[in-house]
Amino acid sequence: MHVGVAWFLFVSAALFGIGLYGVFTRRSPIILLLSVEIMLNASNLALISFARYWGDQAGQVFALVVMAVAASEVVVGLGLVVAMARRRADLDVDSLRGLRN
């Protein structure tokens, strides 16, 4: 077996699918954020694989940017979770439907 860039991309696709399943099925906002982290990491792995494949540094730079975006997303998301907990709201994304109507 020769491990080329395709194998890394397969792993990346599998991780993305797992994260997507988590986003679809879980209801706790914390688990949702963790699943989104898995998906972002899968995209990071693809970016870095292609950076290595083409011998171009740009993919690594964008992977770093994705890390910063993920950190920002976690900060805002956890801030929302803490604010929800303070207001005694139910920590359940299905019950947050005040804007639906």
Segment 17-76, which members bind another protein (CB under 8 A)?
17-22, 24-28, 30-31, 33-35, 37-38, 41, 44-45, 48-49, 51-58, 60-65, 67-76
> Binding residues for another protein, how many (CB under 8 A)?
73
Query: Which residues, at least 6 apart from 68, have a Cβ–Cβ distance to it below 8 Å?
Result: none
- Kindly tell me the burial class for residue 96, based on how many C-beta atoms sit within 10 Å of its own C-beta (0-12, 13-18, 19 or more): middle
Q: Would you count residue 3 as binding another protein (CB under 8 A)?
A: yes
CB of 97 to another protein, least distance (A): 14
Residue 57 vs 101, nearer CB to another protein: 57
Q: 80 or 99: whose CB is closer to another protein?
A: 80
Query: How far apart are the C-alpha atoms of 35 and 49, rounded to whole Å?
Result: 21
The first and second tokens of residue 25, run together, are: 């099925």
